Chain A
Amino acid sequence: AQKVTQAQTEISVVEKEDVTLDCVYETRDTTYYLFWYKQPPSGELVFLIRRNSFDEQNEISGRYSWNFQKSTSSFNFTITASQVVDSAVYFCALSEAHNYGQNFVFGPGTRLSVLP
């Protein structure tokens, strides 16, 4: 069965620091998708990124970057020069392609607090 682990329950940083959120996953599928979502205090989950299992290229989007390493089953998320608006709960998630979306699992989440 698939599983997503986010070992960091809560992280606090001071504004402008860089911070990395860890995500480790388990799956027996060779084809799968990995995701990161942000949940701000307003409650809704906001999609940040999707990565499929055949694309190990790292991705950068502004201050956000993602490092996907199949060898360690990790999909880590780095925020550079953090800002107070980055304070939120961040979820990593995994979907196995063989079941057409019926297997979609979220990690437990990491609460990030960015202090001014």
Chain B
Amino acid sequence: DGGITQSPKYLFRKEGQNVTLSCEQNLNHDAMYWYRQDPGQGLRLIYYSQIVNDFQKGDIAEGYSVSREKKESFPLTVTSAQKNPTAFYLCASSIDLADRGQGGYTFGSGTRLTVV
């Protein structure tokens, strides 16, 4: 079955450490996205990528970095520069950016990051 796999489901990080969240899709989608979810704030876009080797900042990119070396993979690194990294992180994909605009998202099941 096609879908998006996010790993790990739960992640604990010590303050000052970088951590990388994995996102893999086998849907042959060109576009991929990272969202951050905090209680009462909905989903906020961190980064998105329309095609391999290209990515764009979203609304809250500070303290995060991404790469898109393969079509299937879009890992997110939460750096020590992110002041408040504890949150739920969702990865998503769509055929292309225009498809997202018509609701063509597929979401992963998320990674809950806790800074200890």
Chain A positions within 8 Å of B40 at CB level: 9, 108-109
- Name the interface size band of chain A: 20 to 34
Residues of B with C-beta under 8 A to A87: none
Interface-lining segment among B68-76, B77-85, B94-102: B94-102
> A43 — which chain B residues lie within 8 A by C-beta?
88, 90, 108-110
Known A45-B90, A47-B105; contact A101-B100, beta-carbon cutoff 8 A? yes
Q: Does B103 contact A45, Cβ atoms closer than 8 Å?
A: no
Q: Are A106 and B42 in contact (CB under 8 A)?
A: yes
B107 touching A44, Cβ below 8 Å: yes
Residues A97 and B101 in contact in the complex (CB < 8 Å), given A9-B40, A43-B88, A108-B40: yes
Among A15-45, those with CB < 8 Å from B are 33, 35, 42-45
Residues of chain A contacted by B100 (CB below 8 angstroms) = 95, 101, 104
Contacts of B108 in A (CB 8 A): 43-44
How far is it, in angstroms, between the C-alpha of A105 and the C-alpha of B98 when the chains are bound?
Answer: 14
Out of B4, B88, B92, B103, which one reaches A95, CB within 8 Å?
B103
A-B CB contact pairs (8 Å), 24 listed: A4-B42, A9-B40, A33-B101, A33-B103, A43-B88, A44-B90, A44-B108, A44-B110, A45-B92, A46-B107, A50-B103, A95-B103, A100-B97, A100-B98, A100-B101, A101-B101, A101-B102, A102-B101, A103-B101, A104-B100, A104-B101, A106-B43, A107-B42, A108-B42
